[in-house]
Amino acid sequence: MLTTPSSLDQRFGLSRRVVLPGPLRLDGGALLAPVEIAYETYGSLAPGGGNAMLVCHALTGDQHVASAHPRTGKPGWWQRMVGPGKPIDTDRFFVICANVLGSCMGSSGPASIDPVTGRPYGMSFPVITIRDMVRAQALLLDHLGVGQLAAVVGGSMGGMQALSWAATFPERVAACLMIASTARHSAQNIAFHEVGRQAVMADPNWRGGDYYDGDPPAAGLAVARMAAHITYLSEAGLTEKFGRRLQAREQKSFGFDADFQVESYLRHQGLAFTDRFDANSYLYITRALDYFDLAEEHGGLLANAFRGTATRFCLVSFDTDWLYPTSESRAVVHALMAGGAAASFVELSSPYGHDAFLLESPELDRVVSGFLGTGR
C-alpha cells in the first residue's frame, strides 16, 4: 500500500495513526496485538519509494519532528533540521517519524486500552526493548509501502534505534546517522534512570501504575525529569546559563523557595513535563534504554552486529556530552570498522552537553547535509 500525502499533510505534517493487527512478538516473549502507531510524514514518497527517510525520536520525544506539538503548541523538536531546504530536506525526502512503542503520543503504550480487559494496560503492558520499537517501525514501513530507507537518523535514544535498525534490518537501511548516542547503556546511565523510576514509584498516586482514572503521579515524575534533565546539560553549560545567579528578588531567602535560577528552571522543567508525558511510559522507555546493549544481542561482540553490512554509517558526538560521551561513539566506530562497514565519525565542540544535538549547530547541519547528500 502506497501512501501519497495530500498537500495539506505536507504542509502541516498532520498526525496519522494506524492500527496494525499484529501480533508483534517482543524481545521479552510477549505478543502485542493490536499494534497502534502514531506517526507523521513530511514530503512525498517518490514513485520508486527510494526517498524514504526515518527519523527516530528520543526518550521524551514524539512524532512531531517538524510540526507543532498538538498539546504544547511548540514547534517540532527538530524543526531546524527537518523541512524544505533543510539538512533533512523534505523537498527531496519523504520523512517519516513515528511515536515509539511504549510512549504516550498515540502509539501502543501502558496508557493504551488493553483489548482483553477494556481498561488501560498500566503495568500489564509488556516490557519493550529498543529493537521492539524498531520492529514496530518496520511494520509501519510495510504499511506505508516503504521497502528500503534511504537513511535512518536519530539522536540520543533515536540514535540507538538508528543503530538497531542497521543491525536488525541491514537490507532495509542504505545509510545510518547516529548522533549523541551509544550502543549500550552504561552503569551510570542505568543509575540515573533507576533514580527516576524510584521517584515515580514512590509517588502514592502511582498506585502500581493503575492511576488513569485518578490523579497521575506528577510529583514523582517531575523529580524524575529534574534528575534526568541535569544529565542533558553540561556543567559548563549550566554555569554559563545560570551560574549561582539568584532569582529576581536578588536576595537569598534563607528558606526553601527557589532562590537560585537553576532551581527555578529545574522545577519548571519537571512540572511542564508532567503536562505532556505519561509516568508509566517514562518507566517503560527508560527500561528499554537500560536494557539496550547491541553487543549482547550479537553474541557479546558489537562488530558481529554489522559484519558484511552494505549500510553506510555516520556518527556524531559532542565533546561536552557526559550522558553518551564521545568514547561511546568511538566504541561503535571501532566495531563498525572491525565489521568491515563504511563509517565516518566526527566529534563536534559545543558547550551544551547532550542537548547540543537539538540546538542550533551549523557544524552539525554541515555533517548531516554532507552525509545525506543534501548540501548545496
R_g of the chain computed on alpha carbons: 20
Please tell me whether residue 215 binds a copy of itself under the rule CB under 8 A.
Answer: no
Binding residues for a copy of itself, total number by CB under 8 A: 57
Q: Which residues of 46-74 are buried (b: 16+ CB within 10 A; e: fewer)?
A: eeebebbbbbbbbbbbbbbbbbebeeeee
Smallest distance, Å, CB 199 to a copy of itself? 5
Alpha carbon separation from 33 to 22, 103, 135, 292 (Å, rounded): 5, 16, 13, 23
Report whether 225 belongs to an annotated binding site. yes
Report if residue 230 touches a copy of itself, rule: CB under 8 A. Answer: yes
Minimum distance between the CB of residue 163 and a copy of itself, rounded to whole angstroms?
17
Between 58 and 97, how does the x/- string for binding to a copy of itself read (CB under 8 A)? ----------------------------------------
Among 19, 33, 46, 195, binds a copy of itself (CB under 8 A): 195
Q: Which residues of 213-248 are buried (b: 16+ CB within 10 A; e: fewer)?
A: eeebbbbbbbbbbbbbeebbbbeebbeeebeeebee
Rounded Cα distance between 331 and 184, Å, is 10
**Do 153 and 312 meet the contact criterion of CB atoms below 8 Å apart?**
no
Choose between 157 and 341: whose C-beta lies nearer to a copy of itself.
157
- Regarding 186 and contact with a copy of itself (CB under 8 A), the answer is yes
Distance in angstroms (rounded) separating the CA atoms of residues 117 and 327? 46
Rounded Cα–Cα distance for residues 19 and 37 (Å): 6
Identity of the residue, 62 or 203, whose beta carbon is nearer to a copy of itself in the bound complex = 203
Question: Exactly one of 80, 143, 207, 241 binds a copy of itself (CB under 8 A); which one?
Answer: 241
Q: CB neighbours of 149 closer than 8 A, spacing ≥ 6?
A: 52, 53, 54, 141, 165, 172, 173, 174
Of 14-22, 135-143, 165-173, 192-200, the segment contacting a copy of itself by CB under 8 A is 192-200
Q: Does 278 bind a copy of itself (CB under 8 A)?
A: no
Q: Does 28 bind a copy of itself (CB under 8 A)?
A: yes
281 is catalytic: no
Element (H, E) at 318: strand 312-318
328 scored as a contact of a copy of itself (CB under 8 A): no
Collapsing DSSP to helix, strand or coil, 17 comes out as strand
- 247 near a copy of itself (CB under 8 A): no
Does 262 help bind a copy of itself (rule: CB under 8 A)?
Answer: yes
Is residue 9 part of the annotated active site? The answer reads no
Return the closest-CA partner of residue 225 out of 286, 164, 168. 286
What count of other Cβ atoms lies within 10 Å of the Cβ of residue 349?
A: 10
Cell numbers standing for residue 49: 519509494
Q: Residue from 2, 8, 187, 248 that binds a copy of itself (CB under 8 A)?
A: 187
If we measure between CA atoms, which residue out of 43, 14, 71, 81 comes closest to residue 357? 81
321 in catalytic set: yes
| 219 near a copy of itself (CB under 8 A) | yes
Q: Which is nearer to a copy of itself, 176 or 323 (CB)?
A: 323
Q: Which residues contact 70 (CB under 8 A, 6 or more apart)?
A: 15, 64
142 annotated ligand binder: no
Helix axes 261-276 and 218-232, enclosed angle (nearest 10):
120
Among 34, 79, 114, 263, binds a copy of itself (CB under 8 A): 263
What residues make contact with a copy of itself under the rule CB under 8 A?
27-30, 123, 126-127, 184-188, 190-192, 194-195, 197-199, 201-204, 219-220, 222-223, 226-227, 230, 233, 235, 238-239, 241-244, 252, 254-256, 258, 260, 262-263, 266-267, 270, 283, 287, 290-291, 293, 296, 322
Catalytic residue numbers read 156, 321, 354
Annotated binding-site ranges for substrate: 225, 355
